[in-house]
């Protein structure tokens, strides 16, 4: 009888111990869940704080860039606010890019585009064909240019809605144009050289050497003296010592290009492009945010990344 009672008592203690261990395990899971929740909440709070600080810096940078006394290269446009927070503003113009929507109506722009495509690696036939195909995508009629592509080309490919016969509204739509994939393989950074908002003129103060070389149909070495002068004594882009040219004849004296080449495109040159591009970047901790503001006659465009 005593053995039976002892055994029963042992079983009860064992069961109680299992219940206690089970309760401890449940509590451990609960604590771990709470800790994980608190950790996630803390991470979310930190992320939200960084997001707020980064966007606040962006807005401050935009306001600063609009001040009439601020010029491109001003040291105030690049500031480290703290060891973990900074902003940078780049002020340029749409005249630094090929105005792709001008190809539909301007033969000079198509020739400019053809030269640029050749410098990027397409042969002369491919470059002419692509330039014409882009123009046909934009112009309102269904008559293809000499080497262009209109509806009769795209329809058998299952796209009877191509081309759109209007200016591009999305830069990525260029990938739909016949032959553009070949250019994309050669120059995947082509988006940095095109604009949807330019008026067709090229700003000699902001256009990169690659654009100017294509425009004047020369090698980059032939515009090297001009680029060096444009960079100022420190030979750095967008710094306060960069000179402003007073006239296009002054620019012409610095360009080591044939007279015929210059005259052929002189009507496309400008000293002060009307459409400004302001690019702002801000950093808060390891979080970075950026925005692009494009302003000019009849246009105000804000894009955040």
Cα–Cα separations (whole angstroms), residue 11 to 2, 3, 16, 21, 206: 14, 12, 9, 15, 88
Backbone angles phi and psi of 61, in degrees to 5:
-65, -40
pTM over 0.75, yes/no: yes
Token pair listed for 38: 């608190």
pLDDT at 2: 45
**Cβ-Cβ contacts under 8 Å for 207 (sequence gap 6 or more):** 95, 96, 97, 215
Cβ atoms of 120 and 186 within 8 Å: the answer is: yes
List the chain residues with pLDDT less than 70. 1-44
Query: Model confidence over 31-63: pLDDT tens digits?
Result: 555 555 555 555 667 778 888 888 888 888 888
Helix (H) or strand (E) holding 85: strand 85-93
79: left (phi over 0), alpha (psi -120 to 50) or beta: beta
Query: Model confidence over 156-170: pLDDT tens digits?
Result: 999 999 999 999 999
3-state class of 260 per DSSP? Answer: helix
**Cβ-Cβ contacts under 8 Å for 75 (sequence gap 6 or more):** 240
Distance CA 39, CA 48 (A): 14
CB atoms within 10 A of CB 128: 21
Q: How many CA atoms lie within 13 A of 161 on its CB side?
A: 1
Distance CA 16, CA 159 (A): 75
């Amino acid at each position: 009888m005593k053995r039976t009672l002892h055994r029963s008592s042992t079983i009860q203690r064992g069961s109680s111990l299992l219940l206690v261990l089970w309760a401890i395990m449940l509590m451990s899971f609960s604590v771990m869940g709470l800790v994980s929740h608190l950790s996630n909440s803390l991470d979310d709070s930190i992320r939200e704080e960084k997001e707020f600080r980064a966007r606040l810096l962006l807005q401050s940078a935009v306001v600063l860039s609009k001040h009439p006394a601020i010029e491109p290269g001003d040291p105030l446009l690049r500031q480290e606010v703290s060891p973990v927070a900074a902003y940078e503003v780049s002020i340029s113009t749409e005249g630094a890019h090929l105005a792709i929507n001008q190809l539909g109506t301007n033969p000079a722009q198509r020739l400019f585009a053809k030269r640029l495509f050749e410098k990027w690696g397409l042969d002369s036939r491919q470059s002419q064909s692509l330039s014409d195909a882009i123009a046909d995508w934009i112009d309102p009629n269904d008559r293809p240019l000499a080497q262009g592509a209109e509806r009769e080309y795209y329809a058998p490919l299952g796209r009877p809605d191509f081309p759109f016969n209007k200016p591009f509204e999305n830069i990525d739509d260029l990938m739909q144009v016949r032959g553009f994939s070949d250019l994309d393989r050669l120059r995947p950074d082509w988006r940095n050289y095109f604009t949807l908002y330019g008026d067709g003129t090229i700003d000699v103060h902001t256009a990169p050497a690659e654009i100017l070389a294509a425009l004047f149909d020369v090698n980059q070495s032939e515009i090297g003296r001009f680029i060096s002068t444009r960079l100022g004594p420190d030979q750095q882009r967008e710094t306060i010592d960069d000179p402003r040219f007073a006239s296009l004849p002054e620019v012409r004296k610095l360009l080591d290009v044939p007279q015929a080449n210059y005259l052929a495109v002189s009507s496309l040159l400008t000293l002060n492009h009307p459409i400004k591009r302001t690019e702002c970047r801000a950093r808060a901790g390891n979080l970075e945010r950026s925005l692009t503001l494009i302003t000019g006659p009849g246009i105000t465009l804000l894009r955040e990344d």
